[in-house]
Structure 1
Amino acid sequence: MQKNNVMMVVNPISGGVDKWDLIEEVKHYAENLNLNFYCFETTGVNDLQNIKDYYAKYQPDRVLIAGGDGTIKLVAEALENEDVLLGILPVGSANGLATDLGLIKSQEENIAIAFQDYFVVIDFIRINNKMCLHLSDIGLNADLIKNYEKSPLRGKLGYALQIFKTVSRLRKSFQVHIKTSDQLIETKAQMIVIANSQKYGTGVMINPIGIMGDGKFELIVLKKLSFSVFWKIIRGQITVSSKDITVISTEKAMIQINKPISFQIDGEFYGKESNLDVQIKTRKLKVAMLKV
């Protein structure tokens, strides 16, 4: 591992904004610290292996990630078995992980934090052998992600438009069977969130008891997604348990659904699923933070 090498992974299309100025600013910051700077841009083709190869070539002890939740997950998957410090530069359409970590600051502040030596160690979730860093869900929001990926309009305006379209077509509920270490639940639901943290990229609170390093994840079972329940979620007024919402904290769960339902992980649509095997992987990733 080369302590004088720093690698930056950039998703050039995330958030619908140009990244050239950001790359130049990070390069300049690295050079001022006498660090060798290497930049990799994702293309959407074989990115996982290409990131692994690029990392193996330069062996940096720090990797900066410029993108949203999906880009962070991509890099974390590629470097899962490496002892590397991750710096997050949130410039995606969905920046939920950065929001939960308190990294939604100015570009200059986020760059400075990404070069800090202080860090936190966080868990991740494994769902059907796929990594989830932040939030996954099955149901309404996954439909939104699917519609957004098909839309030519990116950024916050694109998200807002798809929220309106998706919520206006609320689907019927599905039957779900959930088995955890100590509970067995059978209920109808319109959406199930698998959460390692608290907020969606929009800042909306979905999991008030989420802590990314506590060795547990939460299942938020939304039994009925009426507009009143949706409004509570938007306003951050979700409660741990009510007649319409149940929150379960656990280390593992088996989720069975009576029919295939839209499924997403960290802002990326993964098709439809009817069976989910969910497990927590504790204290796996180091993320640069501002020491307080």
Structure 2
Amino acid sequence: MTSSGTHLKPGPDGRVNVTPESAGWTYLSFGVVALQGGIYEGDTGGNEVALVPQSGHLSVSFGDQAHDLSRLGVFEELPAVVYLPPHTAFSVTGSGTFAHGGAPAEGRYPARVIRPHDIRVELRGGANASRQVSHLLGPDQVAERLLVYEVYTPSGNWSGWPPHRHDGQLGSLYIEETYHYRIQPASGWAIHRNYSPEDGYDEALVARDGDVILSPRGYHPVAATPGSNVYYLNFMAGEAQDEARSTPPTDEPDWAWMRQDWGGKALELPIPVVAVK
């Protein structure tokens, strides 16, 4: 795996691994694993962990349970998601790709499988800022710190708009976040911007299929280039716990008005040759 700051590329084996130490933050771990007919064995340790299949024929075992996690692909169907409490041994077998992420927890909630029909699907925004958000482990699903979403942004659209933050600044809660991108077609790309005007932090990153981008602070909108349908998997964790995980982020003041006008006062074309007097 090669990395450049907040932008991570999968290694030759398709794996990505983010720890609080490597990210320079406190709570959130994240990883992507590609199996080729093998087995991945893990233990949640002091974390609550969620497993999200992305494609292939996979099975997960924990305790005396075994569950099918097969999925045609992220653009074809919703997943079955596994939630595991701390100090739980598990294994994943088969051929396919899955993501996993975790955050420190006390173990207040039992292991369970969240089936596709239990996942709330929401259409957000409007005009060219419309997208779908699938609440894999949203505030309506019990967890201690973890939040997990899948977001679909159609060709040419914007996501994460209005720009918003949850970094403990300007009245927001402190929540860490990873973005794992899948793009259709695989040659497509998106633009991911992280920026914080008050301290001069600003980076615009080209997200390609398989990339992981961290959102360390500030605002973080995403744009899907024309012809590129963009999926990203968000894992989030921070100071918010239990019901407080539903606390909304803080919008950038210059753009908050767009929640009342998703068209954004778009320019009408063509421009007149001669202005009407």
TM-score range, shorter chain: under 0.3
More helix by share: 1
TM-score, normalisation: structure 2? 0.28
Task: Decide which structure has greater strand share.
Answer: 2
Q: Which has the higher contact order (CA 8 A, sep 6+)?
A: 1
